[in-house]
Amino acid sequence: MNRKDREIFSALEVVLEGIGVAFGSNCEAVLHSLEDTSCSIIKIVNGHVTGRKVGSPLTDFGIEILKKADELEKDVIGSYYSRLNDGRLFKSVTMVIRNTQGKPIGFICINIDLSAPLAEFLEEFLAKTDESSKDIVEHYP
């Protein structure tokens, strides 16, 4: 991985943090590097959702996407459903990250655990995450 690729990944880490804050603890956000698929996860937010951590490998579906990456019409795959071995259902989306030459260098994957109690999900989703902030009034032109 070259310096520019590392800069792309570094810039995307804050995006994962934002996804975790916006959607709560039942939403996993994963940043994969395709440099070594056997230990592709370089950043993960809410890894407890699937039990993965930094250094975990790319999934089988991720490998299939990688094989077809050059033929894809869109770099956003999904949304789609998947299940863990324990039966939990997930709604997921995978986004291909390309470098300045258009080469796939990584993925961002978002996995929402649909097995989580709806009340728990909504409570987190609707909660303010920064208690020190006042309600913000914003006008969208």
Q: Where are the domains of the chain?
A: 3-116
β-sheet bridge partners, residue 96: 107
What is the per-residue burial (b if ≥16 Cβ within 10 Å, else e) of 9-39? beebeeebeebbeebbebbbbbbbbbeeeee
Query: Would strands 76-83 and 41-45 be described as parallel, antiparallel, or unpaired?
Result: unpaired
Taken in order 25, 28, 31, 35, the sign of the CA dihedral is positive
β-sheet bridge partners, residue 113: 90
Q: How much is the pLDDT for 135?
A: 66
Q: How much is the pLDDT for 133?
A: 58
pTM of this structure:
0.85
pLDDT digits (tens, 9 = 90+) for 15-57: 999 999 888 899 999 999 999 999 999 999 999 999 999 999 9
Q: How much is the pLDDT for 136?
A: 63
Position 5 pLDDT exceeds 60: yes
pLDDT digits (tens, 9 = 90+) for 77-131: 989 999 888 999 999 999 999 999 999 999 999 999 998 888 877 777 777 666 5
User: Considering only the top CATH level, what class is 3-116?
Assistant: alpha beta
Q: How much is the pLDDT for 140?
A: 75
Contact indicator for 49, 113 with CB cutoff of 8 Å: yes
